[in-house]
């Protein structure tokens, strides 16, 4: 199977690889997937408590090239966004950007899950109510 | 030293003389040996007769080529030339052996014994028979990949007509206790078939001392052409009869009709003769390279495990799990090297290798496995290139792996609550 140039680029030059201090209140950690499924993503965000802007994001992923690319792209996209804006990122946008084939769509879903899980963790730490997930079709209309 | 010389030295790649891409997937198929091609060529141009044409020179010449090949193949496996039935390859050989015995000996019984790590050609032929009223026992294998002779013995009933156990496994390279299984089958009066595609030409195989009644082999696994194979069918003690699966002109003692693929057969014969002549030195060379590569991996990387049983192993096989790195991403990093992965992502079914799972390996470890199949044309330089590049890629991907980081921090991955998807 041939990979798109963008998947290859993220695989060869993954953005924002690393680890943030998960004990910090400003940091939210999302760990999604399972080793036996062949995909585990950990996405971390550092949120400015006053502006709710995601100031930093890091990831580590165990998985195929498409999974690595999806999570690498997710860190790029959430950086600089507010928490609310980041929640609006949908897997279909990731599929489009990376030109993922149908068998790799689950990688994009996992990346979206990772963003949500990281934000959820940050909210929990800061006693903020969970927001309802946005409608996927509305998000799709953005592109 | 002059500046120019220093520059030249610094710009010289570490690996010289390596031509990319490198082929190291010789369990899947092998390159045609130029000497085999040379033997085949006349049969594609000048000697084009039908070997079944008995009344003219064109036919006789083709038949001579086939007869010679039959002898070359028989000699390699300790058989006689009359016991060699030509087929289109090992998939057909396995189908003919299993279905042919099942149909022919239906009166005697309807039970067949095989093992879970067989090639799909065997497993699917058995599944077909199950639909037609046969009972099949799929024996498990031990953690090292070998089948237990005791398990075979315990599975045999008075309804058992066939035991089909592969000689050597195509993924993990393990070599089964074939001689003991064959002896057991002969004592119990049960026919014994072995799929020997990975073993023939690589390690000594002898149908007499190994007590084999039927044996499948293939041309393209031994540096011969694709689309040609053979089934050894024992003629005495016991005389094996098979119900033909392809009806027609009654070629191959009535067991396999169809005009013979003369150039392919000549190539298969030549490939067998070369394999026989070179087996001893080549096995030594390949197992040396294989062990060298294995040691490089084990010395450079932690959480790296060899699958199979190195004491009962093909000389050219190495199957290794680079735990906490997913196989497909690993292949992506070494895309100028042809190897195989046990990862689900590289298969059509999205399931990790059933062979590795049969060893009791977790799915996560199976996802992290790479199969190296060394061959006649691999060099020491290539092995260095491949192992260095693989080590670099594993190190890079482990930097990216949350699992590796967690394990290094002392977290027990078994106790983490994963969100399966």
Q: E strands within B132-249?
A: 135-139, 160-164, 191-195, 214-218, 229-233
- Chain B residues bordering chain A (beta-carbon distance below 8 Å): 324-326, 328-329, 332-333, 343-345, 350, 352, 362-364, 367, 399-405, 413, 416, 418-421
Roughly how many angstroms between the first and final C-alpha of chain A, as a whole number? 27
Q: Between the CA atoms of B24, B28, B34 and B36, what dihedral angle is there, to the nearest 10 degrees?
A: 150
Which residues of chain B are in CATH 3.40.640.10 domains? 34-275
Topology (CATH) of B34-275? 3.40.640
pLDDT at site A39: 92
Give the one of A19, A103, A110 whose C-beta lies nearest to B421's C-beta.
Answer: A110
Task: Look at A65 and B421 and tell me if their CB atoms are within 8 Å.
Answer: no
Per-position pLDDT tens, chain A of length 143: 678 999 999 999 999 999 999 999 999 999 999 998 889 999 999 999 999 999 999 999 999 999 999 999 999 999 999 999 999 999 999 999 999 999 899 999 999 999 999 999 999 999 887 655 544 443 333 33
Q: Report the pLDDT value the prediction gives residue B421, as an integer from 0 to 100.
A: 58
Query: What beta strand segments (E) does B156-266 contain?
Result: 160-164, 191-195, 214-218, 229-233
Whole-number pLDDT of residue B30: 98
ipTM reported for the complex, 2 dp: 0.89
B358/A53 Cα distance (integer angstroms): 49
Q: Could you give the residue range(s) of every CATH 3.90.1150.10 domain in chain B?
A: 3-32+279-410
Best of B324, B329, B363 to disrupt the A interface by mutation (most A CBs within 10 Å)? B329
Nearest CA in chain B to A35: B364
- From the list A8, A37, A128, A138, the catalytic residue is A37
Q: Is B346 a residue whose pLDDT tops 80?
A: no
- The CATH-assigned architecture of domain B3-32+279-410 is Alpha-Beta Complex (3.90)
pLDDT of residue A36: 86
User: Collapsing DSSP states into helix, strand and coil, what is residue B115?
Assistant: strand
Q: CB A39 to CB B328 under 8 A?
A: no
Tokens of residue A111, six digits: 């990346």
Q: Which helix (H) or strand (E) holds B59?
A: helix B57-77
């Amino acid at each position: 199977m041939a990979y798109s140039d963008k998947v290859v680029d993220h695989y060869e030059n993954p953005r924002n690889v690393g680890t943030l201090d998960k004990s910090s209140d400003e940091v939210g950690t999302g760990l999604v997937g399972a080793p036996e499924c062949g995909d585990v993503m950990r996405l971390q965000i550092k949120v400015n408590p006053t502006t709710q802007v995601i100031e930093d994001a890091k990831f580590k992923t165990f998985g195929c090239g498409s999974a690595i690319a999806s999570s690498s792209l997710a860190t790029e996209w959430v950086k600089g966004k507010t928490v609310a804006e980041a929640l609006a990122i949908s897997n279909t946008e990731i599929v489009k950007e990376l030109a993922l084939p149908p068998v790799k769509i689950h990688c994009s879903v996992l990346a979206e899950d990772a963003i949500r899980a990281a934000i959820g963790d940050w909210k929990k730490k800061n006693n903020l109510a969970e927001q309802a997930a946005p409608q996927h079709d509305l998000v799709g209309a953005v592109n | 030293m002059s500046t120019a010389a220093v520059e030249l030295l610094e710009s010289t790649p570490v690996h010289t003389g390596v031509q990319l891409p490198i082929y190291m997937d010789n369990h899947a198929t092998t390159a045609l040996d130029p000497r085999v091609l040379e033997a085949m060529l006349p049969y594609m141009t000048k000697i084009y007769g039908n070997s079944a044409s008995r009344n003219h020179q064109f036919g006789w010449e083709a038949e001579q080529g086939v007869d010679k090949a039959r002898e070359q193949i028989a000699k390699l496996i300790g058989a006689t030339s009359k016991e060699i039935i030509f087929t289109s390859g090992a998939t057909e050989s396995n189908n003919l052996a299993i279905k042919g015995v099942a149909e022919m000996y239906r009166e005697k019984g309807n039970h067949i014994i095989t093992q879970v790590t067989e090639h799909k050609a065997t497993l699917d032929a058995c599944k077909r028979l199950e639909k037609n009223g046969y009972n099949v026992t799929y024996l498990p294998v031990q953690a090292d990949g070998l089948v237990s002779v005791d398990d075979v013995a315990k599975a045999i009933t008075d309804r058992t007509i066939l035991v089909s156990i592969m000689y050597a496994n195509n993924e993990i390279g393990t070599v089964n206790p074939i001689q003991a299984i064959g002896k057991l089958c002969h004592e119990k009066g049960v026919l014994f078939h072995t799929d020997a595609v990975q073993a023939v030409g690589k390690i000594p195989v002898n149908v007499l001392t190994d007590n084999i009644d039927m044996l499948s082999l293939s041309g393209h696994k031994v540096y011969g052409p694709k689309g040609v194979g053979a089934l050894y069918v024992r003629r005495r003690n016991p005389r094996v009869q098979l119900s033909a699966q392809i009806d027609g002109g009654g070629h191959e003692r009535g067991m396999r009709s169809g005009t013979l693929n003369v150039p392919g057969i000549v190539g298969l014969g030549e490939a067998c003769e070369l394999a026989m002549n070179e087996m001893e030195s080549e096995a030594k060379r390949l197992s040396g390279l294989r062990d060298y590569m294995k040691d490089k991996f084990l010395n450079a990387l932690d959480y790296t495990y060899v699958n199979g049983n190195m004491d009962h192993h093909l000389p050219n096989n190495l199957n290794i799990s680079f735990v906490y790195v997913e196989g497909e991403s690993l292949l992506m990093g070494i895309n100028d090297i042809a190897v195989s992965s046990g990862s689900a992502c590289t298969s059509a079914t999205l399931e990790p290798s059933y062979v590795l799972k049969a060893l009791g390996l977790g799915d996560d470890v199976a996802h992290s496995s790479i199969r190296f199949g060394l061959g006649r044309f691999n060099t020491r330089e290539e092995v260095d290139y491949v192992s260095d590049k693989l080590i670099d890629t594993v190190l890079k991907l482990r930097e990216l792996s949350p699992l590796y980081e967690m394990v290094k921090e002392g977290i027990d991955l078994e106790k983490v609550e994963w969100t399966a998807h």
